[in-house]
Amino acid sequence: MTTLTLVQGDITRQSADAIVNAANSSLLGGGGVDGAIHRRGGPAILEECRALRASRYRNGLPTGRAVATTAGALDARWVIHTVGPVYSAGEDRSELLASCYRESLRVADELGARTVAFPAVSTGVYRWPMEDAARIAVETVRNTATAVEEVRFVLFDDRAYEAFARQLG
């Protein structure tokens, strides 16, 4: 049984077995959550990301997939990097966003993580409407079989927190 919880705040301040990063395919960092995770987690994370780019993901990590690295100086054992889709009004990319949550939980299960903290993937730079992103996130986690005991959504602002709270009911 997986418990879904909500927290408002900075995901880099969370204590969890795994912290999910809203990365991009390059795995080499960026703004938003990604920038914050690399800043606070320190260079060990980027080092492992570079090694992944030189081996398993020469062409980058595809959208909707997930891969784990060390969490460096964060209060976690692993960072799970996932690549959300850029929102498109003309094309339904919901399945790719759902895949980010499913794949991250699959990686978490492989690692044996019991608590996993997620940001609202794709809702920043990638412009996914918050209400819809919250629905996809919550529905997908509820419908995924996993040994993870707690999935914690860590929302940066009131608007995001309230959108996820409405979905949790």
Contact residues toward ligand AR6 (CB under 6 A) are 10-12, 22-24, 30-34, 36, 84, 119-126, 154, 156, 160
Q: Which is nearer to ligand AR6, 15 or 147 (CB)?
A: 15
Q: Please, which residue, 39 or 147, has the CB nearer to ligand AR6?
A: 39
CB atoms closer than 10 angstroms to residue 168: 12
Give the nearer residue to ligand AR6 in terms of CB position, either 69 or 122: 122
- CB 79, min distance to ligand AR6, A: 13
Instruction: For the CB of residue 5, give the shortest distance to ligand AR6 in the complex, in Å.
Output: 14
Nearer to ligand AR6, 12 or 144 (CB): 12
Contact 11, 154 (CB under 8 A): yes
Q: Look up residue 8 and give its amino acid.
A: Q
Tell the smallest beta-carbon distance from residue 99 to ligand AR6 (Å): 13
Question: Phi and psi at residue 12, in whole multiples of 5°?
Answer: -75, -10
Active site residue ranges:
34
Minimum CB separation of residue 29 from ligand AR6 in Å reads 6
